[in-house]
Amino acid sequence: MATQAVIWLIPVVPAVAFIALLALGRVRRAAAPYIGLTAAVLSLVGAIWAVVAVGRAGTINFDFIWLTVGNVPLKIGMYIDPLAAVMLVVVTTVSLLVQIYSIGYMKGEKRLSWYYAAVSLFTASMLSLVIANNFLQLYISWELVGLCSYLLIGFWYEKKSASSAAMKAFIITRIGDVGFFLGLALLFVNTHTFDFSAVRQIVAAGSLGAGTLTAIALLFFAGAAGKSAQFPLHVWLPDAMEGPTPVSALIHAATMVAAGVYLVARSFFIFEAAHPAALQVVAGIGAFTAILAAVIAVTMTDIKKVLAYSTISQLGFMMAALGVGGYTAAIFHLTTHAFFKALLFLGAGSVIHGAGTQNIYEMGGLLKKMKVTGWTFLIATLSIAGIVPLSGFWSKDEILTEAAKSGNYIILGVLLVTAFLTAFYMFRLYFVVFTGPVRDEHAHESPAVMTYPLLILAVPAALLGLAGSPLLGNWFTKFIALPGAEHIAAAPDYLMMGLSTAAALAGIGLAWVMYKRNLSEERFGRTLFYFFNIAKRRFFLDELYQFLIVRPIMRLAAASAWFDIKVLDGAVNSVGPLAVHGGYRAAQFDSVVINNVYDSGINIIKTIGEATRRRVNTGLIPRYLAYILAGFVVLAVIVYVLFVMVK
Amino acid sequence: MAREFIYLVPEIIVLATALGVLVLDLVLGAKRKPLILALASVAGLLAAAGFTANLMGQRAIVMADMFVIDSFGLVLKVVILVGAALSVLLAVGFLERPKSHPGEYDFLIVASTLGMMVMTGSNNLLLAFLGIQLTSIPLYILAGFKRNDSKSSEAALKYFLLGVLTAALMLYGMSLLYGLTGTLNLTTIAARLGGIKTNDPVLFLGMVFIIAGFSFKIAAVPFHFWAPDVYEGSPTCVTAFISAVPKIAGFAVLLRLVYTAFPALTPQWTGLMALMAVLTMVTGNIMAIPQKDIKRMLAFSGIAHVGYALIALAVPGQNAMGALVFYLLAYSAMTAGAFTIVVAVGRVSHEHQITSFAGLGTRAPVLAAAMTVFLLSMLGFPLTAGFTGKFLVFSAAIEKHYVWLALIGVINSVISLYYYFGVVRQMYLTPARATTKMQVSGLVWLLIAIALTVTFALGIYPEPVINLTRHLVVLFARF
Amino acid sequence: MVPLQYYIIMSAILFTIGIYGVLARRNAILVLLSVEIMFNAVNINFMAFSAYITPATMVGQIYTIFAVASGAAEIGIGLAIILLIYRGRETVNVDEVNMLKW
């Protein structure tokens, strides 16, 4: 009973904080952070309590009837299984640390209490999403977190780009939600319940057709793809970086964007019962998103955009894991990713705070100026790159193992290449930002209130993975596993570990060669020139470039001091620049094609509306009279032909 | 006979209120007259609503089978009466009236309300026609209420000419139907249609003509052309009334017509409704996007909502009918709320551009928050009336395998995000042009509070209303 | 006795003339008059059907009386509105009444 009360309080406390902040915020602005913080601490305590309770007694599920429609009861409830418990801890921890960090980062902000109010509302909604015991409650929270995301992306609305980005994020995720909503309606019409366990029973009983289940699964996945920024609905996430950096860390890296993965995990039993094509779609889209975003990340020069694309890529990893049946692997990666990516974002925020710019080429040598930020960033970078024994290594390795086990070698190959690219772009970022000559003498370390959260986050970012590693007997995996699958112990796959480490090291090495040449650039160029010895193919490559590379991109590349002819000449030619150029092309595809589809979609509708209103709604009564009569005749004829004559 | 009048008490009260207001307008001194007359009208309307609610659960067909008393009609009548009362209140202090006869406005609203009550209960084409006329004629005058404003006169002329044309079409259809069946009674029509081939083109034409006439009242495409111009030109209080209340009566009479008189022609009218639903949703949403005037934007958004509601008419069945009634309740609450705020903002800014909402989030935070709730509800955001309504309508469609219709509906609701959030963006993400706080009167707060309560109640705890709507559909005359 | 068809055809012709007038006329009063022609077509229909199909109940005749009455009210309002327009802009040409548009 006490546990139930505690679990109720987990989302309620931040919600109360939201109301309190709205009410008191105007009066006592200075107190705002502490109201938010208190709520976050209480939620964290509650979450830990819940985890312990789940660990002891297994899944907790209770609810009360919210309303009865016809004879169908709709419930509000709490469903804490290991999956939800893990998510609870992730959300509350990151939220707490981000709020502490924000004290420093948002110092002097005029609308500080509004900021904390929105963050608290977000936390409450996200927690309610996580502990929902039915799809309706999940959907409601799902929309609420979207709304909070909208408000927080547009927090600095004086910047026009921020308010456009907020709008775009909301619209694009809503496009995915079309699917989620229809899937929900389809589910309800067929099962007359939203309850997870009831739906699970109905699905297990096999009374639903595979076609219906597949439709529901794919519609849910559309919603998940919108929220988790999967191709082609991923374009909103890079733009969302207009929001304050702590918000990016909380919402657009660790928690909300993972909600899509969570949804697919939650309804995994539907995917499993559906036609295999459903999971194949998930795997395919996930893997494609992973590699596409990784390639684009290589080219970004804005520190936050690199991380945004990295997030998209990692979410693609998780989706791909789910697609190949690696349920636990996906959740494992979700958890580790939440911590190291939050750390990266907060680190980036600290860098931006200290260096006063977001362009990585205007930074450099920051490790000397910002010790804590630099070293914690390095931990997170190593972790995401997948270096033993950091968190990212274990979870990524588990995904690769699952992909190999499923026999889907295309996905496996794509993910391995992505792992390589991940190491490459992350270390490119690290080398450019933190090593090399100091470019800005005024750069300074952030205040303690910002660096302590970094230090705290560095611990799970480095070590959490061990919980799921074979060293500790795959404890995490067993804890999280679906009922009945707990004992399938994943034997350590040394081949996969070797491959992923090789990919990571190759990526780091390439980045080192390409971006850390200030140590001895000529020698490395020459060494590698002999090493790979592909000079003969140079002409061919040059022509290929001429042919393939669009001029503006070439100019951009030339303008960059880092893009030195030596490198182009050198042996690295075969991989590095290809990745970079491929990245530019992908980025171009991304910004030109996908963004244009979105923009032109809106523009087309706007143009149609504009043209129609100028031509049709002319304001002239005779026209209106004529249109009414003509419309009437057309309607009557169509319906007559369709429903009277045809019969 | 005398017993029958018990069922007509609400209508009689409304009639007496209308006449009473006219008389009081002549008798009373000029001091505080608008307020007294408004309160008298509100009292009359609410008394009628009380009596109507009291009749709930009863079923009868009175006045020579012309007038139906059933829970379906009674619920909608209560909504109409309450809506009318709120409209009367909204006008106090917001409407410029002729000094000599300030009661005209109240009289016209009450008279129009009587027409709507007649429409809602009519089981006879003649009565339906008279109800429509009684509703429309006061509305034509109300649209042109600002006599010295040429925009207002223009709105009146447009409303009038388009309205009269569609009335003529509808009458012609009724005459055809009368020629075929020899009766104007809906129930009898259904019975006599048994002897007529359902693919008779004259029968089809008659039905389509009549549906066209009713569709004008609800502003369904292609009979919607009046809506944006009339909304823009009319005084905003009148717009608030026109946009919410008459549509309820229009849907009620449309639903009675097709369900009572034309069960034999179900494929035909469902087809027609489905087609109109798609056209109406698409047109409303696409045309709302480029609008700069908030009243025009809300006009097109209202058209889009009619499209969603038409989905429920296109899908025959009890769930769909319940969903329709629910949607109408939700729609009128959120529309009335939004227009109340438009009135309050227009009072200060003296214009109705969407940009006049810039910075409302800082100038009048509570007002802006309330507007956001109404817009979110129109968008179909969870925990608001709009979400529950859309969910009921779309699931009813999916249940009857009209998945395509639901899909078009949901896609449209995404498009609508663009223009609804255009307003939210103005309020929260655009710096204010004036920094002064906005003063809002207590009356406006009251109206907003009522609309907010309904919007949230239907979103957070819709159980009583959902079950009521399902229940009353069972009590609908034909079931 | 004149066959029923004649009445129906005449009414249809009148109705069409009315529609033509509505579409072709630019003077608001004439548009209104054209609509009235349409109303009268309907009335003829009702009277004819009443006499031929339901002579006993007279439903059609009653209908016509109501229709004429409400039509009169409508005309009254209509003319008042047109007068209002005329006072505002000194024209009753419907082509020039388009301040509200788009």
CA distances from A186 to A193, A512, B74, B338, B395 (A): 11, 52, 33, 31, 7
Residues of chain C with pLDDT under 50: none
- C56 and chain A: CB distance < 8 Å anywhere? no
Report yes or no: A70 and A89 within 8 Å, Cβ to Cβ. Answer: no
Beta-carbon-side half-sphere exposure of residue B161 (alpha carbons within 13 Å): 37
Provide φ and ψ at A533, rounded to 5°. 45, 60
Does position A545 have pLDDT exceeding 80, yes or no?
no
CB contact under 8 A, A635 and B398: no
CB contact under 8 A, C35 and B168: yes
Q: What is the mean pLDDT of residues B392-410?
A: 87
Does position B32 have pLDDT exceeding 80, yes or no?
no
What architecture (CATH level 2) is domain C4-89? Orthogonal Bundle (1.10)
A65 versus A327: the higher-pLDDT residue is A327
Domain with B459, as residue range(s), is 264-479
Place of tokens 């006061």: B138
CA distances from A401 to A329, A340, A397, A405, A406 (A): 9, 21, 6, 6, 9
Highest mean predicted confidence (pLDDT) among A192-201, A442-451, A462-471, A584-593: A192-201
> What are the structure tokens assigned to B393, written together?
């309508």
Does position B343 have pLDDT exceeding 70, yes or no?
yes
CA distance C75 to chain A (A): 18
**Residue B143 within any structural domain of the chain:** no
d(Cα A393, Cα A388) in Å, to the nearest integer? Answer: 6
Q: Compare all CA atoms of chain C with the CA of B157 and give the residue at the minimum distance.
A: C81
Does position A524 have pLDDT exceeding 50, yes or no?
no
> What local confidence, expressed as pLDDT, does residue B199 receive?
78
> What local confidence, expressed as pLDDT, does residue A556 receive?
43
Q: Which tens digit of pLDDT belongs to each residue from A121-159? A: 899 999 888 888 888 888 888 888 888 888 888 888 777
CB contact under 8 A, C77 and B137: yes
Q: Which tens digit of pLDDT belongs to each residue from A393-439? A: 888 888 888 888 888 888 888 888 888 888 888 888 888 888 877 77
> What local confidence, expressed as pLDDT, does residue B17 receive?
95
CB contact under 8 A, A645 and B199: yes
The closest CB to that of C35, out of B153, B164, B179, belongs to: B164
Of the pLDDT bands very low, low, confident and very high (cuts 50, 70, 90), residue A7 is: confident
- A607 and chain C: CB distance < 8 Å anywhere? no
CB contact under 8 A, A618 and C99: no
B185 versus A599: the higher-pLDDT residue is B185
> What local confidence, expressed as pLDDT, does residue A567 receive?
40
Of the pLDDT bands very low, low, confident and very high (cuts 50, 70, 90), residue A598 is: low
Of the pLDDT bands very low, low, confident and very high (cuts 50, 70, 90), residue B230 is: very high
> What local confidence, expressed as pLDDT, does residue B84 receive?
93
CA distance A262 to chain B (A): 20
* Mean pLDDT of chain B, nearest integer: 88
3-state secondary structure of A446: coil
> What local confidence, expressed as pLDDT, does residue A516 receive?
61
Report yes or no: B226 and A617 within 8 Å, Cβ to Cβ. Answer: no
A491 versus A549: the higher-pLDDT residue is A491
Per-residue 3-state assignment (H helix, E strand, C coil) for B101-132: CCHHHHHHHHHHHHHHHHHHHECEHHHHHHHH
Q: What is the mean pLDDT of residues B168-173?
A: 93
Does position A260 have pLDDT exceeding 80, yes or no?
yes
Per-residue 3-state assignment (H helix, E strand, C coil) for A57-119: HCCEEEEEEEEEECCEEEEEEEEECHHHHHHHHHHHHHHHHHHHHHHHHCCCCCCHHHHHHHH
The closest CB to that of C41, out of B167, B172, B232, belongs to: B172
- How big is the A-C interface in CB pairs under 8 Å? 35
Range name among A91-100, A298-307, B408-417 with the lowest pLDDT average: A298-307
Start-to-end Cα distance in chain B: 26
* Helices of type H across chain C: 4-24, 28-52, 59-89
Q: What is the mean pLDDT of residues A441-468?
A: 80
Range name among B127-141, B290-304, B350-364 with the lowest pLDDT average: B350-364
Q: Which tens digit of pLDDT belongs to each residue from A87-105? A: 888 889 888 888 888 888 8
Neighbours of chain B (3+ CB pairs under 8 A): A, C
What does R_g of chain A's alpha carbons equal in angstroms? 26
Reported pTM: 0.84
Question: By C-alpha distance, which of A351, A229, A377 is closest to A292?
Answer: A229
Does position A543 have pLDDT exceeding 50, yes or no?
no
d(Cα A646, Cα A582) in Å, to the nearest integer? Answer: 56
- B186 and chain C: CB distance < 8 Å anywhere? no
Report yes or no: A598 and A536 within 8 Å, Cβ to Cβ. Answer: no
Q: Taking CB atoms and an 8 Å cutoff, what residues of chain B touch C80?
A: 141
> What local confidence, expressed as pLDDT, does residue B242 receive?
93
Strands (E), B235-339: none
Of the pLDDT bands very low, low, confident and very high (cuts 50, 70, 90), residue A568 is: very low
Indicate left, alpha or beta for B65 from its phi (over 0: left) and psi (-120 to 50: alpha). left
Does position A532 have pLDDT exceeding 80, yes or no?
no
Of the pLDDT bands very low, low, confident and very high (cuts 50, 70, 90), residue A647 is: low
Does position B118 have pLDDT exceeding 50, yes or no?
yes
Neighbours of chain A (3+ CB pairs under 8 A): B, C
**Residue B39 within any structural domain of the chain:** no
Does position B301 have pLDDT exceeding 90, yes or no?
yes
Of the pLDDT bands very low, low, confident and very high (cuts 50, 70, 90), residue A591 is: low
Does position A504 have pLDDT exceeding 90, yes or no?
no
Which residues on neighbouring strands pair with residue B75, listed in sequence order?
A: none
**Residue B205 within any structural domain of the chain:** no
- B188 and chain C: CB distance < 8 Å anywhere? no
Total domain count, chain B: 1
3-state secondary structure of A435: coil
The closest CB to that of C77, out of B126, B160, B183, belongs to: B160
Per DSSP, the residues of B145-199 read: -STT-HHHHHHHHHHHHHHHHHHHHHHHHHHHHHHHHS--BHHHHHHHHTTS-TT
Percent of the residues in chain A that have a pLDDT greater than 70, as a whole number: 82
d(Cα A355, Cα A46) in Å, to the nearest integer? Answer: 38
Of the pLDDT bands very low, low, confident and very high (cuts 50, 70, 90), residue A530 is: very low
A445 versus A90: the higher-pLDDT residue is A90
B269 contact partners, CB below 8 Å, separation of at least 6: B207, B211, B258, B262
> What local confidence, expressed as pLDDT, does residue A485 receive?
57
Question: By C-alpha distance, which of A177, A216, A396 is closest to A290?
Answer: A396
d(Cα B237, Cα B38) in Å, to the nearest integer? Answer: 13
Q: Compare all CA atoms of chain A with the CA of B229 and give the residue at the minimum distance.
A: A619
